[in-house]
Structure 1
C-alpha cells in the first residue's frame, strides 16, 4: 500500500470508533476570519526548506523518515490521543507498549522477567538508566568513553553524579584497560558501553567488559540508542553479550522506522521498579495491573508512539532474515560497498572500515590541516549544487587517533575534520554508484 492509502485506511478505523460515540466535530471548527487553506500553503512553503531526508542522496546525519506503516499508525492513534502514563488513558496502547517491550527484551537476550518502557527519546532513556544506577550505587562515579554520546556527561551533571571519560582506541571503541584503571582507583558504580557510537559506528567490546563486571562488581549500561537494532544481524560478539548487562537503551526512532519521540530503556532486574514508586490520588484507578507510569520518570507519554511501534513490528518483525533485520542488512551492504569504492579511489581514503552503516573517509591530502579544509569545502559544495545536491556530514577526529591509523599524513593540527556518511536507509544500497560519482565530481 502507498502511504496515502495506509493513512486513509487507518483514519477510517478511527472514524468508525468515533461514530460509536456519536457525531463529533472540533469546536470551533475554524475561525471564520482565518483562511486555513492559505495558512496550510504557507506552512508547506516553510517546510520546503527541509533537506530531503527521505532520499538516498541524503547521506549525512542520522536522519530518515518513519516508515509509512508507522506514520499511518501514529496518525490514527494521535487522533484518539491516548496517554500511556496510565491505563486510565490508554486502554489500547498501553498493552501494545508492554508487547513491544517484551519483543525488545527478547531481541537483546534479556532473561524474563525484565522491566522496561518507551520514552520520548534516547536521552531520557539514558537518564533513567543512569538514575537507577545512582540509586543502586549512591555517590559512585559513572565511567564512559570519550567517544560515547555526550548525553552521558550531561545527564550525570543533571543527576549530580561524577562522570569519568576515558580514552577511546583509535578505532573508536572504549579502551577497557583505561576502564580497569578507573575501577582500580575505586568508587565507580557503572560503566557505559556503546554498541555503535554516533560518530564512527564503533562497537565496544561488551563481551570482555563482562569480565570487569564480574571482577569489580560494577553495573554495565549499554547505550544502544543508535546501534542496538543491529543485534538482529548477529555480526558481532558484543551484541550477544548485551543480555548479561544490567540495562540497555535503544532508539526506535532511528533504525526502528519510527517518528521522533520514541526511545526505550530496559532493565535486567525488574526489582529496580521500586525506585519509581510514587502515589497519585487521581490516576491508576481503572486496574490493579502495573501502569506504565509507575515505572517511568516521565508522566504523559504519547500512546501513539507505542501504537506506531507495535504495528511496525507486526509488519517488520525483529528477525534477521526478514522484517527489520532484512532492512538493516541492506544498510550494512551499502556501507561495505561504499567503503570498497572509496578504497579504489585515488581522491579519497577510508578512515575506518565500517562496523555498522556509518562510513568515514577523507579527501587525500598530504597534511591534516589540508584534509580539514578540503572536507569542509566538499560538504558545502555538495549542498550548494541546486541541480544535483548531495548531503554529507563531517566528523572531527583527534590527531593522535588519525595519525595512528594514517601515519603517512603530516601532522600539523590537533584535530582533523573528515567526511562521514550515515547509510541508514535501505535505498542507499542502490544509490552507491551515484554517490561515488558525485563525490568524484566534488573532489
Structure 2
C-alpha cells in the first residue's frame, strides 16, 4: 500500500463521518462510553503486539493459502460506512448500503451471464452455499444432493445441517448412471476447487442434468472472478465451463478472495427470482419503512454488515468487472504467475509438478533421491519448516495431502510406500507473484538441496 495516499483515504473516511453527523444537533457522549485517549492507545499498542503473530499475507513471499489483505479502497470504504454501522437486513437498517448491495450483486450476476436473478451478499462462501443447498432441498425435498470428493467439505456439512440426503462422487464420469442410482436432484459443480484449483466439467455435466431435471449449483467461491477471462479469443483458462455458468440454477462467489475485499464477503445468486418464495416470512418487528422487497426477505442471515456492501461497491467503481482492465487485469497476472511457475517446473530437476494449474494454484513436490511417498513427505515437511523459519528471508508455503497413486500416474518411477503423500501447494493470488516466481522457485530449490 502507498502509505501517504492510504492515510489520506482514511482521513477522508473519518472526515466524511464528521460531515454526516453535522446534519444533526450536537450532543455529548454519555460518560459510560467515554474512555481516555491514553488508555485506548495502550490497548491498541497491546493489540499491535498480539497481531505480530501473523504471517505476511500482503507480501509475495507469502505463497501459501488463499489469503491476501483487502485493497486500500475497500478498507477506506468499509471504514467510512462502518462508522454509521448499517445493517443490510432491511432497507431502513441501511438504505444507502442496501441499494449498493443490490447494485453490486447485479454486476456479479451480469458477469456470469444471468439476464435476471435474485441474490445477495453473505458473510462467507459457507453461508452462500448453505442457502443454495437449502433452496435445492426446498425444490427437491426427497432427492439427494451430489458433490465430488474434490468439493469443499462445507457441502457435506451443510447437507447435514439442512437434513437432506447427499452423496459424494469420486468423479463425474458416470453422472447419468449416478443420477438414476442415487436419486439425485442437485449436483454441486466446483469452479476452482480449494485444494488444486480444479475446474470441474460443468459443460459435460449440464446437458445430462437438464435431461433429468436436475438442478446445478456452481460453487465458484474461489474461481468465479476468472469468468472475466473466459471470453478471450485465445483464453488462458479452460473457458468451456465458465461459459456455461449462465445455465446454472445458482452460483456462489467470494469477493473476499479475488474481489479484493476484507473477510467476510460472500455472495449467492439464483437464476430464477421465483425462488424468493421459499424465504418468505412474517416478522412483526422487521423494518417496514418501505414496501419494496428488502434484503432480509431473500436471505437466511438476518443482520449483515452494510459496510461490506459499501466496500465492494467502492472497489468495483475502481476495479470494474472487465476482462482487460480492473479486476480482469489483476487476474491475468495471477494466472500468468501460475503458468510461469508451471513452465519453470518442466525444466527443473529438483522439483516435480503434481498437476497443471487450471487457475492460479500450483502443486509440486521435491524429487528425492529415494523417490518414495515417505521420502517426499519427509522432505516436504523439512523444507516447509526451513523456509518458514529462515532468519532473514522467510518464505511461506502451504501443503496438501494427495493420494500417492495419483503421483505414480504421472511419474511411474515413484514408489508408493504409503497411501498418501504430502506435497507443496501455493496460491499465487497476488499480481506481484508474477515477478516473484523465479525468486520463490530458486529459494525452494536451494532448501531442497540442503535437505
Q: TM-score range by the shorter chain?
A: over 0.9
Measure the CA separation in 1 of the matches of 2:91 and 2:362.
44
Q: Does 1:108 align with 2:112?
A: yes
Name which of 225, 245, 252 aligns with 1:242.
245
Name which of 191, 199, 203 aligns with 1:203.
199
1:133-172 paired onto structure 2 within 5 Å: 133-167=136-170
Name which of 357, 360, 364 aligns with 2:360.
357
Following superposition, the deviation at residue 281 of structure 1 comes to 1.4
Name which of 405, 412, 422 aligns with 1:407.
412
Asked if structure 1 preserves the Cα contact closer than 8 Å seen for 2:145 and 2:186, the reply is yes
Name which of 243, 249, 254 aligns with 1:251.
254
Q: Does 1:268 align with 2:271?
A: yes
Asked if structure 1 preserves the Cα contact closer than 8 Å seen for 2:167 and 2:182, the reply is no
Measure the CA separation in 2 of the matches of 1:51 and 1:26.
38
Asked if structure 2 preserves the Cα contact closer than 8 Å seen for 1:88 and 1:283, the reply is no
Show the counterpart of 1:170.
Answer: none
Measure the CA separation in 1 of the matches of 2:99 and 2:245.
25
Measure the CA separation in 2 of the matches of 1:229 and 1:161.
30
Show the counterpart of 2:234.
Answer: none
Q: Does 1:60 align with 2:56?
A: no
Measure the CA separation in 2 of the matches of 1:226 and 1:241.
17
Inter-CA distance 43–24: structure 2 relative to 1 (3 Å threshold): farther
Inter-CA distance 400–180: structure 2 relative to 1 (3 Å threshold): farther
Show the counterpart of 1:190.
Answer: 186
Show the counterpart of 2:293.
Answer: 290
Measure the CA separation in 2 of the matches of 1:39 and 1:384.
29
Show the counterpart of 2:380.
Answer: 375
Following superposition, the deviation at residue 10 of structure 1 comes to 2.0
Following superposition, the deviation at residue 33 of structure 1 comes to 11
Name which of 374, 398, 401 aligns with 1:396.
401
Inter-CA distance 165–25: structure 2 relative to 1 (3 Å threshold): farther
Q: Secondary structure at the match of 1:184?
A: helix
Asked if structure 1 preserves the Cα contact closer than 8 Å seen for 2:93 and 2:287, the reply is no
Farther-moved stretch of structure 1 (208-217 vs 21-30): 21-30
Q: Secondary structure at the match of 2:168?
A: strand
Q: Secondary structure at the match of 1:361?
A: strand
Following superposition, the deviation at residue 80 of structure 1 comes to 0.4
- Between Structure 1 and Structure 2, how many residues are aligned? 435
Consecutive unaligned residues in structure 1, runs of 5 or more: 168-174
Question: Structure 2 length normalisation: TM-score?
Answer: 0.94
Q: Does 1:84 align with 2:80?
A: no
Question: Structure 1 length normalisation: TM-score?
Answer: 0.96
Q: Does 1:99 align with 2:95?
A: no
Show the counterpart of 1:74.
Answer: 78
Following superposition, the deviation at residue 342 of structure 1 comes to 2.1
Asked if structure 2 preserves the Cα contact closer than 8 Å seen for 1:119 and 1:265, the reply is yes
Consecutive unaligned residues in structure 2, runs of 5 or more: 231-236
Following superposition, the deviation at residue 30 of structure 1 comes to 3.4
Q: Secondary structure at the match of 2:157?
A: helix
Name which of 217, 227, 241 aligns with 2:213.
217
Asked if structure 1 preserves the Cα contact closer than 8 Å seen for 2:149 and 2:169, the reply is yes
Show the counterpart of 2:227.
Answer: 231
Q: Does 1:130 align with 2:141?
A: no
Following superposition, the deviation at residue 405 of structure 1 comes to 2.2
Asked if structure 2 preserves the Cα contact closer than 8 Å seen for 1:143 and 1:179, the reply is no
Deviations 1:340-379 (A, max 9, x none): 2222221101111111000000000211111111111111
Measure the CA separation in 1 of the matches of 2:6 and 2:199.
35
Show the counterpart of 1:171.
Answer: none
Q: Secondary structure at the match of 2:87?
A: coil
Asked if structure 2 preserves the Cα contact closer than 8 Å seen for 1:18 and 1:24, the reply is no
Show the counterpart of 2:334.
Answer: 331
Following superposition, the deviation at residue 247 of structure 1 comes to 0.3
Measure the CA separation in 1 of the matches of 2:269 and 2:326.
22
